[in-house]
Amino acid sequence: MAALDDRALRGLVGSDRVHRDFYTSPEVFELEMERIFGRAWLIVGHDSQVPDPGDFVTTTLCRHPVIMSRHTDGEVHLMFNRCAHRGAQVCTEPRGNARRFECPYHGWVYETDGRHAGAPYPKRYASGFLKGGEFDLAKVPRMAIYRGFVFACLSADGPDLDEFLGPMKSHIDAMVDRAPDGEVEACAGTFRYRFGANWKIQMENQNDLYHPMFTHASTTARDGTQFRRHGAEDDEAGRVRLLKENEALNEQWEELAIGGHRYGHTWMERFPMDRGQSGPVHERYREAMEASYGERAAEAMAVKHQNSIFYPQWSIQYLTQHIRAMNPVSVDCTENVIIPLKLKGAPEEMWRAALRSNNNSHSPSGMVMSDDMEVWERCQRGLASPGNEWVVFARGMDEEDTDNRGSFEGRGTSEANARHQHAAWLDYMCGEA
């Protein structure tokens, strides 16, 4: 393709379609890493993954290896996992507890807040050379924590986290406020998997109400019921109606609200099945919530959204109780990390049900995820072929009357959320974000 100036980039995104190069061009991908992932606030994890001083986890952020650690002062720090001397990674364990990080190459040592703590035989360096902070582990330019969620921004400039999240902050609150103690905890480990498709294909999929009855047809039994995707409080993989009375339910899908906010964030209302919780465990939960929140309890307990996507890199799924970090690896490969969240103070039975729900639907063998990943990979392979150069997102176009760059609200199986993401993509890529 031609040089990627603004005109070429704008040529990839039409009002109701995107060009296949949007998903398949390595040059576009490299620019995205710089202009989107290099500027947006990205999720790193949750501070409960490092509860005690010296605790750390290693991960990657926009392809860069990083360490998230808790220092002896109780603060969380986020450093690039690269020795300031010759560049070796100073830590390769996925998680653990360390007094200090020591480079394997020449033994340079760092405190758990990244400060340079010494180099062996320092006398051969000029006096004072190692002092002054130049040889600390480099900090990720910006880090911020909101209600335990740890965010990073690879750019020193741009909107702060508060501005970046905007109205989506309330979508984080909606998850955390469901806990009687007002906190969530990432204490179940993670699922990690990768699939052979461009990161944007998953982004567009997560708020797509047009696909479940087709992509996930195999999770529906002959009698039209589906296994319960979300925690059944009696800890059974109960079955719920998904496709039975197909026509009626399709209308219900069309009734669901969808929408978005600035910077490409989108959301979708809770699915029509699985509504209404009752029983003794739910009663205990309600009592715990009322004790904490008083008159606000019913509002705090209500699950309004199915999932909320924080463009370009993570999402919350409410009933399954997890966050999903989606890290691009290459133009045709993406790696997911699923982190389940425990609602602190809620009955243990609810947590057990949530764990089972995550196992059933979102593990690498998950009955929902495996079909999604298959379809995304087929998209990527299909898009390698010429012929139809465009990928169409025209559904609901005629109903759209809002500016895609601000907040908007739509309905049902419209593809407005994907169009909203595409508008944000252009803003990032052509310098208006």
Partner 1 sequence: MRAEIERFLYLEARLLDERRFEEWMNLFAEDGWYWVPAAPDRKDPYDGVSIFFDDRRVMKTRLERLDHPRIHSQKPASRTMHALSNIEIDEDHGGEGEVLVRSNLTMFEFRLDKQTVYGGRCRHLLRIRDGGGFEIAWKRVDLVNCDGVFETLSVPF
Measuring CA to CA, which residue among 323, 57, 25 is closest to residue 185? Answer: 323
Instruction: Look at residue 37 and give its three-state secondary structure.
Output: coil
Structure tokens at 259: 């929408």
Instruction: Compute the least distance from the CB of residue 57 to partner 1, in Å.
Output: 12
H-helix or E-strand spanning residue 100: none
Task: Assess 370 for contact with partner 1 (CB under 8 A).
Answer: yes
Rg of the chain, C-alpha, whole Å: 23
- Single out the residue of 352, 397, 407, 430 in contact with partner 1 (rule: CB under 8 A): 352
Q: CB nearer to partner 1: give 145 or 375.
A: 375
Please report whether residue 199 would count as binding partner 1 according to CB under 8 A: no
Through-space distance between the first and last CA atoms of the chain, rounded to whole angstroms = 25
Two structure tokens written together for 138:
């480099």
Closest CB to partner 1 among residues 106, 378: 378
CB of 174 to partner 1, least distance (A): 23
Counting contacts by CB under 8 A, is residue 367 touching partner 1? Answer: yes
Q: In the set 25, 49, 59, 190, which binds partner 1 (CB under 8 A)? A: 190
Tokens 């924080």 -> residue: 310
Instruction: Determine, following the binding rule CB under 8 A, whether residue 1 of this chain makes contact with partner 1.
Output: no
Q: Establish if 244 lies at the interface with partner 1 (CB under 8 A).
A: no
Decide whether 183 or 349 has the Cβ nearer to partner 1. Answer: 349
Report, in Å, the least distance between residue 31 CB and partner 1.
Answer: 26
**Residues 73 to 102: which contact partner 1 by CB under 8 A?**
94
Report the site for partner 1 in 208-227 (rule: CB under 8 A): 215, 217-219, 221, 227
Gap between the Cα atoms of 328 and 200, Å rounded: 9
In angstroms, give the least distance from the CB of 7 to partner 1: 38
Q: Is 195 in the site for partner 1 (CB under 8 A)?
A: yes
Binding window for partner 1 (CB under 8 A); candidates: 112-120, 136-144, 245-253, 366-374:
366-374
**Interaction between residue 239 and partner 1 (CB under 8 A):** yes
Phi-psi region of 281 (alpha: psi -120 to 50; beta: other; left: phi over 0): alpha
Q: Does 193 bind partner 1 (CB under 8 A)?
A: yes
- We find the least distance from the C-beta atom of residue 34 to partner 1, in angstroms, to be 25
CB of 264 to partner 1, least distance (A): 26
| Tokens encoding 67 | 């360490």
Could you tell me the CA-to-CA distances from 24 to 197, 198, 382, 386 in Å, in that order?
9, 7, 10, 11
Q: Which of 359, 397, 402, 430 binds partner 1 (CB under 8 A)?
A: 359
What are residue 273's phi and psi, to 5 degrees?
Answer: -90, 175
Query: What per-residue string of b and e applies to 188-204 under the rule 16 or more CB within 10 Å gives b?
Result: bebbebebebbbbbbbb
Separation of alpha carbons 196 and 175, rounded Å: 30
Site for partner 1 in 377-416 (CB under 8 A): 378
Q: Which stretch binds partner 1 (CB under 8 A): 3-11, 118-126, 183-191, 269-277?
A: 183-191
Q: Which is nearer to partner 1, 162 or 234 (CB)?
A: 234
User: For residue 157, how many other CB atoms are within 10 A of its CB?
Assistant: 8
Interhelix angle 416-429/26-35, nearest 10 degrees: 80
Q: Does 41 bind partner 1 (CB under 8 A)?
A: no
How many chain residues are in contact with partner 1, going by CB under 8 A?
40
Smallest gap from Cβ 411 to partner 1, in A, equals: 27
367 SS3 class: coil
Q: Helix, strand, coil % (nearest 5) of the chain? A: 30, 25, 45
Residue type, 82: R
State how far the Cα of 186 lies from the Cα of 170, in Å rounded to an integer: 20
Interface with partner 1 includes 232 (CB under 8 A)?
A: no
Q: What is the dihedral of CA 41, 45, 50, 54, to 10 degrees?
A: -50
Asked if 192 is part of the footprint of partner 1 (rule: CB under 8 A), the reply reads yes
Residue 60 binds partner 1, judged by CB under 8 A? no
Question: Which residues are near partner 1 by CB under 8 A?
Answer: 94, 187-195, 215, 217-219, 221, 227, 236-237, 239, 335, 338, 340, 351-352, 355-356, 358-360, 363-365, 367, 369-371, 373-375, 378
